[in-house]
């Protein structure tokens, strides 16, 4: 006999995933005594028995762990024997340091779906069923540890049957905090536009489905906020939703009843399919099939891709099963405001949009929009990181002091760090409204509160006027300002664990450059201590400044002016010229000639806009990035490029410059000659990819990191990576965090952590 008692401290995503019952069953299997307990740091297991048995138990523990759990670290210590019989699950401790990982929300699991559809089950058709393997987490959590009294479920007293399941370690619902059933849990109601209850429970669901079938717009309270839903096949309903939501052309996402129905409309590869069916259940961008004629064109006008998701909650499964056809499922908000989470607030804010409200009485503690993903070179890449992913951390491979980062201005996210982990908030949105700014403050406060992180320094963008940066500077803590494009590159380096030096290619619309110009087509030699700008896209003026972001015709005029001067601008021989009234065109010329309200920019995003406008594709953007997106889509329709355009490398101001002059001149000529926009767009993408390769060859660093909003363009990313890899470079692009400004809080955090070390 050689008994031993070991205490194991397990850190990682080990709460809310059925970890303790797993430990209980495993310990029982090995005949051990002891206990398991949730602590704010993770899980502690004390196990006592024969040495060989205890060791086998601890060896097996990580191997058979529950599918959604993640083990970061196990620390084991020997402690005195205590004897005793049996293994138990103890009540949670509330003290200490809440470094235990908070789980993201998890889509309904297969077992729960079976119960949902089983008439003999007591949870048959219950829209809030869940278990330790699935259900709400982050969106119901008020504080750690993750126990029912600390969640939005505290107001629902468990019935005797649920309580028995909750307390039985052999039950799938053992300590499933949101456990509920029709007898004791949340319930549905259908409200009319005035907030009057029309029906409840299953009847409410049936009537909401009928309303959608009848072509009405229904606001549906989901997991992380409200969706506005309408029949995606009904042109009038979709148009009404567009008009009321003040969203002219930006594609709407859709929810499909099941995968088979998605296959009728979209091309779904293996990776896409895995994403659609994953526990994170994001919106996935899928190529639409040419014969997908049932969907109203107004859902995604002119777009060759649909944003598609499958139901993530039992409520959505039931609703979609009742409908059997795809619905538009767009965030319940006005244009770019944050998504609504409370039914009373929804009635105020969405009252002019929705005709009725399918609501329930389980509060949403914090908003989480649907995440958006697409597939780039066979790998999933997030375009918006929210439900299902936030607030899981990105491990950056190095330690630093607790840091708070405040992101950018558009598509804002914030972050806090603890040791080597950066907790990135869910997508917040553009900080253009007071609601968005409040959500920004709240998201940051929630991360700090939940993880009990007291930042000792803050990181923000170096832009003098970003609200996020101003807020950061006002906190009274040491501030590290991080250049926008360096932050893009660092974010990608962080997720791939690259120490540098790398060649960072940061291409986006706009970022504040330390020389006072607008940056956006940057090549940075990036490493631990900082960066050197080694090359840029040749700068050009942007007549009208910010107005040029909305009007690609202005970027085009800036390019033409830089090439040929004022006469080329004040001329109606090309599409951007014709897009202005005579007097406007003269005003644009004056701005350019006097250099007033015509800031210089090296923005690759604006180069895309300008080229698209010269082809007559789009003169004004109905939503951010529209012209560039349509240009990408045009290129996808073309045959393979012939290498017709070429960017040249030249030296200017002590920098390498990627010069677009010959290419833009050729585009003007080709457009005038009536060459198809598809062919021009394809050659344009090809020229950029080859241009990046030329810079990479010149710089000579073997690792190249892509970042910035331009690399949301999958075609540009693929062609660039193909070229670079073909020439022997190793290429990295953003996958876990968005390429757009939604990722820069991660890069900011990493830089600030490092600054504090040196």
- In the complex, the residues that contact Zn ion under the rule CB under 5 A are 109, 112, 131, 133-134, 159, 162, 181, 183-184
Report the partner that residue 100 touches, choosing among Fe ion, Zn ion, none (CB closer than 5 to 8 A by kind): none
Nearer to Fe ion, 130 or 712 (CB): 712
Shortest distance in whole angstroms from residue 179 CB to Zn ion: 7
Report the partner that residue 183 touches, choosing among Fe ion, Zn ion, none (CB closer than 5 to 8 A by kind): Zn ion
Element (H, E) at 192: strand 188-192
Nearer to Zn ion, 120 or 673 (CB): 120
Report the partner that residue 112 touches, choosing among Fe ion, Zn ion, none (CB closer than 5 to 8 A by kind): Zn ion
Nearer to Zn ion, 122 or 637 (CB): 122
Nearer to Fe ion, 187 or 603 (CB): 603
Shortest distance in whole angstroms from residue 576 CB to Fe ion: 24
Q: If DSSP codes are grouped into helix, strand and coil, which group holds residue 53?
A: helix
Shortest distance in whole angstroms from residue 172 CB to Zn ion: 7
Report the partner that residue 144 touches, choosing among Zn ion, Fe ion, none (CB closer than 5 to 8 A by kind): none
Give a three-class secondary structure readout of 79-106.
ECCCCCCCEEECCCCCCCCCCCCCCCCE
Shortest distance in whole angstroms from residue 69 CB to Fe ion: 35
Nearer to Zn ion, 67 or 726 (CB): 67
Nearest to 150 by CA among 199, 215, 100: 100
Nearer to Fe ion, 133 or 512 (CB): 512
The sign one gets for the Cα dihedral 358, 147, 736, 23 is negative
Shortest distance in whole angstroms from residue 407 CB to Fe ion: 10
Report the partner that residue 629 touches, choosing among Zn ion, Fe ion, none (CB closer than 5 to 8 A by kind): none
Shortest distance in whole angstroms from residue 130 CB to Zn ion: 5
Nearer to Fe ion, 508 or 670 (CB): 508
The sign one gets for the Cα dihedral 227, 231, 235, 237 is negative
Shortest distance in whole angstroms from residue 525 CB to Fe ion: 19
Report the partner that residue 600 touches, choosing among Zn ion, Fe ion, none (CB closer than 5 to 8 A by kind): none
Report the partner that residue 52 touches, choosing among Zn ion, Fe ion, none (CB closer than 5 to 8 A by kind): none
Task: Quote the CA–CA distance of 358 and 347 in Å, as a whole number.
Answer: 11
- Which residues 725-744 are close enough to bind Fe ion by CB under 5 A? 741
Task: Quote the CA–CA distance of 412 and 337 in Å, as a whole number.
Answer: 12
Q: If DSSP codes are grouped into helix, strand and coil, which group holds residue 337?
A: coil
Report the partner that residue 133 touches, choosing among Fe ion, Zn ion, none (CB closer than 5 to 8 A by kind): Zn ion
Q: What is the DSSP letter of 185?
A: S
Nearer to Fe ion, 402 or 605 (CB): 605
Shortest distance in whole angstroms from residue 224 CB to Zn ion: 18
Instruction: Tokens for 248, please give them.
Output: 């002219």
Shortest distance in whole angstroms from residue 182 CB to Zn ion: 7
Task: Quote the CA–CA distance of 76 and 235 in Å, as a whole number.
Answer: 62
Report the partner that residue 165 touches, choosing among Fe ion, Zn ion, none (CB closer than 5 to 8 A by kind): none
Identify how many contiguous H helices and E strands the chain contains and give both numbers.
Answer: 24, 32
C-beta of residue 237 within 8 angstroms of C-beta of residue 303: no
Shortest distance in whole angstroms from residue 507 CB to Fe ion: 9
Report the partner that residue 482 touches, choosing among Fe ion, Zn ion, none (CB closer than 5 to 8 A by kind): none
C-beta of residue 229 within 8 angstroms of C-beta of residue 218: yes
Shortest distance in whole angstroms from residue 511 CB to Fe ion: 5
Element (H, E) at 207: helix 201-213
Nearer to Zn ion, 162 or 188 (CB): 162
Q: Under the criterion CB under 5 A, does residue 624 sit at the interface with Fe ion?
A: no
Shortest distance in whole angstroms from residue 28 CB to Fe ion: 53
Shortest distance in whole angstroms from residue 537 CB to Fe ion: 14
Q: What is the contact mask toward Fe ion in residues 480 to 519, using x (rule: CB under 5 A)?
A: ----------------------------x-----------
Q: Which residue has 């951007």 as its token pair? A: 576
**Is the backbone peptide bond immediately before 289 cis, with ω within 30 degrees of 0?**
no
Nearer to Fe ion, 508 or 694 (CB): 508
Report the partner that residue 101 touches, choosing among Zn ion, Fe ion, none (CB closer than 5 to 8 A by kind): none
516: left (phi over 0), alpha (psi -120 to 50) or beta: left
Nearer to Zn ion, 17 or 228 (CB): 17
Q: Other CB atoms closer than 10 Å to residue 384's CB: what's the count? A: 21
Report the partner that residue 336 touches, choosing among Zn ion, Fe ion, none (CB closer than 5 to 8 A by kind): none
Counting residues that bind Fe ion (by CB under 5 A) gives: 2
Nearer to Fe ion, 50 or 430 (CB): 430
Contacts made by residues 645-651, CB under 8 angstroms, sequence distance 24+: 645/683, 645/684, 645/686, 645/687, 646/687, 646/690, 646/691, 647/687, 647/688, 647/690, 647/691, 647/694, 649/535, 649/691, 649/694, 649/695, 649/698, 650/538
Task: Quote the CA–CA distance of 255 and 320 in Å, as a whole number.
Answer: 8
**E strands in 280-409:** 283-288, 305-309, 327-331, 356-360, 372-376, 379-384, 393-395, 403-405
C-beta of residue 468 within 8 angstroms of C-beta of residue 408: yes
Task: Quote the CA–CA distance of 545 and 601 in Å, as a whole number.
Answer: 10
Buried b (16+ CB within 10 A) or exposed e, 37-50: bbbbbbbbbbbbbe
Report the partner that residue 537 touches, choosing among Zn ion, Fe ion, none (CB closer than 5 to 8 A by kind): none
Shortest distance in whole angstroms from residue 158 CB to Zn ion: 6
Report the partner that residue 508 touches, choosing among Fe ion, Zn ion, none (CB closer than 5 to 8 A by kind): Fe ion
Q: Nearest to Fe ion by Cβ — which residue?
A: 508
Q: Write the CA distances from 27 to 61, 304, 325, 494, integer angstroms.
A: 9, 53, 47, 38
Report the partner that residue 532 touches, choosing among Fe ion, Zn ion, none (CB closer than 5 to 8 A by kind): none
Nearer to Zn ion, 159 or 676 (CB): 159
Pairing of strands 218-221, 226-231: antiparallel
Shortest distance in whole angstroms from residue 287 CB to Zn ion: 32
Q: If DSSP codes are grouped into helix, strand and coil, which group holds residue 258?
A: coil
Report the partner that residue 181 touches, choosing among Zn ion, Fe ion, none (CB closer than 5 to 8 A by kind): Zn ion
C-beta of residue 521 within 8 angstroms of C-beta of residue 604: yes
Q: Other CB atoms closer than 10 Å to residue 110's CB: what's the count? A: 8
Nearer to Fe ion, 551 or 741 (CB): 741
Element (H, E) at 52: helix 51-63
Shortest distance in whole angstroms from residue 740 CB to Fe ion: 6
Nearer to Zn ion, 112 or 255 (CB): 112
Nearer to Fe ion, 509 or 577 (CB): 509
Contacting positions for Fe ion (CB under 5 A): 508, 741
């Amino acid at each position: 006999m050689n008994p031993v008692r070991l205490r194991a401290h397990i850190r990682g995503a080990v709460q809310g995933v059925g970890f303790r019952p797993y430990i209980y069953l495993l310990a029982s299997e090995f005949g051990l005594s002891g206990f398991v307990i949730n602590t704010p740091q993770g899980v502690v297991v004390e196990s006592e028995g024969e040495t060989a048995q205890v060791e086998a138990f601890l060896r097996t523990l990580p191997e058979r762990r529950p599918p959604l759990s993640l083990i970061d670290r196990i620390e084991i210590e020997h402690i005195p024997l205590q004897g005793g019989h049996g293994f138990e699950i103890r009540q949670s401790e509330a003290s200490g340091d809440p470094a235990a990982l908070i789980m993201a929300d998890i889509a309904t699991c297969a077992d729960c779906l079976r119960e949902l559809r089983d008439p003999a089950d007591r949870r048959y058709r219950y829209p809030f069923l869940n278990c330790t393997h699935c259900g709400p987490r982050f969106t119901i959590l008020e504080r750690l540890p993750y126990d029912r009294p600390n969640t939005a479920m505290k107001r629902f007293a468990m019935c005797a049957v649920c309580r028995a399941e909750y307390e039985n370690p052999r039950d799938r619902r053992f300590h499933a905090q949101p456990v509920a059933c029709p007898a004791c849990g949340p319930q549905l109601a259908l409200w009319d536009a005035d907030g009057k209850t029309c029906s409840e429970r299953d009847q409410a669901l049936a009537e909401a489905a009928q309303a959608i079938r009848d072509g009405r717009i229904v606001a549906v309270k989901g997991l992380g906020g409200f969706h506005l839903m309408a029949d995606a096949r009904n042109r009038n309903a979709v148009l009404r939703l567009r008009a009321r939501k003040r969203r002219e052309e930006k594609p709407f996402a859709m929810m499909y009843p099941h995968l088979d129905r998605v296959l009728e409309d979209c091309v779904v590869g293996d990776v896409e399919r895995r994403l659609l069916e994953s526990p994170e259940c994001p919106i996935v961008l899928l190529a639409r099939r040419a014969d997908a004629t049932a969907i109203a064109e107004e859902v995604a006008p002119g777009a060759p891709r649909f944003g598609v998701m499958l139901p993530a909650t039992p409520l959505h499964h039931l609703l979609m099963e009742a409908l059997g056809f795809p619905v538009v499922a767009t965030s319940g908000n006005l244009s770019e405001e944050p998504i609504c989470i409370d039914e009373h607030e929804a009635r105020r804010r969405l009252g002019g949009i929705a005709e009725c409200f399918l609501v329930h009485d389980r509060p949403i503690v914090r908003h989480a929009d649907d995440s958006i993903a697409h597939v780039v070179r066979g790998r999933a890449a997030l375009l918006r990181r929210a439900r299902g992913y936030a607030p899981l951390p990105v491990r950056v491979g190095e330690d630093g002091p607790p840091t708070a980062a405040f992101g950018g201005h558009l598509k804002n996210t914030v972050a806090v760090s603890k040791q080597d982990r950066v907790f990135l908030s869910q997508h917040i949105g553009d900080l253009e409204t007071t609601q968005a700014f409040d959500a920004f403050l709240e998201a940051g406060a929630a991360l700090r509160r939940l993880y009990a992180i007291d930042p000792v320094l803050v990181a923000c963008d170096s832009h003098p006027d970003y609200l996020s940066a101003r807020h950061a500077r006002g906190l009274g803590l040491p501030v590290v300002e991080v250049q926008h494009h360096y932050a893009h590159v660092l974010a990608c380096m962080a997720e791939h664990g690259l120490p540098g030096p790398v060649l960072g290619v940061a291409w986006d619309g706009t970022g504040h450059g330390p020389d006072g110009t607008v940056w956006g087509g940057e090549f940075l030699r990036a490493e631990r201590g900082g960066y050197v700008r080694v090359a840029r896209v040749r700068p050009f003026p942007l007549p009208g400044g910010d107005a040029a972001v909305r009007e690609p015709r202005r970027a085009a005029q800036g390019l033409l002016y830089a090439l040929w001067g004022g006469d080329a601008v004040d001329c109606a021989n090309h599409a951007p010229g014709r897009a202005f009234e005579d007097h406007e065109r003269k005003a644009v010329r004056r701005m350019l000639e006097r250099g007033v309200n015509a800031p210089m920019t090296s923005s690759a995003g604006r180069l895309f806009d300008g080229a698209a406008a010269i082809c007559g594709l789009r003169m004004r953007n109905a939503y951010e990035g529209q012209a560039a997106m349509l240009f990408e889509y045009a290129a996808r329709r073309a045959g393979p490029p012939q290498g017709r355009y070429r960017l040249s490398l030249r030296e200017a101001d002590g920098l390498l410059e990627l010069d677009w002059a010959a290419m833009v001149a050729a585009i003007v000529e080709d457009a005038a000659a009536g060459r198809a926009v598809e062919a021009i767009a394809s050659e344009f993408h090809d020229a950029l990819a080859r241009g990046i390769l030329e810079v990479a060859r010149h710089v000579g660093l073997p690792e190249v990191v892509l970042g910035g909003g331009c690399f949301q363009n999958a075609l540009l990313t693929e062609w660039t990576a193909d070229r670079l890899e073909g020439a022997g470079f190793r290429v990295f692009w953003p996958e876990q965090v968005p390429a757009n400004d939604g990722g820069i809080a991660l890069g900011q955090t990493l830089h600030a952590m490092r600054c504090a070390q040196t």
